[in-house]
Each structure stands twice: as C-alpha cells, then as structure tokens.
A = this chain, B = another copy of it.
Amino acid sequence: MRQNLKWALAALMVTCAATAVPLAASLADDGASPIFGVRIPEGYRDWKLIAVGQEVALNELRGVLGNARAVEASQGGALPFPDGTVFVKLAWKHVPVEGLDGAFVSGSPTTVQIMVKDSAKYATTGGWGFGRFIDGKPVDEAQHRTCFACHEAHAKDHDFVFTRYGR
C-alpha cells in the first residue's frame, strides 16, 4: 500500500510538472497584446515595404511593412482595407551619420507595432486590432488604450491608417 501511494504521488508530480510549464507560459506571457489579442506575425520582417516615417518626439525612424493583402490594398488605394490586412511598423533609433550633417540612419530597434484588420472582431475600434511590442513582449494595457484614439483623431479619412504606399 505504501509503495502504491508513493507511485501514485510520483505519477501526480510528473503530471503536474508536465502541465505546469505550458500553463505558466500561457498565463504569464502569451505574447498577445492586451485588449486586442494581437500577436507578432511569423516572418513579418521579410514582408514588403509599404512606406517609411519619423517620430521626432521618440527620436525614431520607422519602416512599415505589410502582408500580401496590405501591399495589394495599399497599391490599389481602395478603402476600407480588407479583412486580413496586416501592417507591421518597425521603429528604430534615429542615428546621425558621423561627419555628415543632416544625414541619419536607423539604429537599434525600439518597438514593433502591428495593426490587424478584422471588421467583426474589432468593430469598436474601426475594424483594427493593435499590438505594440518591445523585445517581442506586448506593452501594457494603458498603452494599448491610446492606439485607436490617435489613429481615429488623425487618420480616419484613410481607414485609420497613416501610411500610404511609397512608389
């Protein structure tokens, strides 16, 4: 009986250990943005360039990439963007080129910011879900509450997207 109990306990511990890791990982750091549940899409760094930008207050230069649907829709120019459109904005530090006044290159990465179009799922935010990531981890809920407010205030006439395709 004692032997059986020991085996039963051992089996229980193994079961707990086996389930503990994925449970902990999914609860503590599942990689999805608060509010929207947006994740960093696989392979995004190899997506095509839509356009570039600058954010002086953050001392950043940006490149906006898009999945195939984003590229096609941006080239065509028709609005609204179709469901399945995904934009990824990569932000880097704004770094002067030594000895060349007024020339700047992109330096170390700061954030990766994502917009996903799903008009049903994100009906209350113009059809867009947002994700803002630092080192692959989503930033907090308070920051995510600011995304749509700004896109709504300044880019409503272009389906809440600042970026136009750069020819």
Contact = CB atoms under 8 A, between A and B. Distances in A.
Interface of A: 45-46, 48-49, 51-57, 61-63, 65, 90, 92, 94, 97-106, 109, 150, 153-155, 162-164, 166-167
B99 A153 contact: yes
A48 to B, nearest CB: 6
Nearest to A150: B100
Q: How many protomers of this protein does the assembly include?
A: 2
A89 B155 CA distance: 27
Contact of A54 (B49, B101, B103, B166): B103
A63 B92 contact: no
B61 A103 contact: no
Contacts of A45: 167
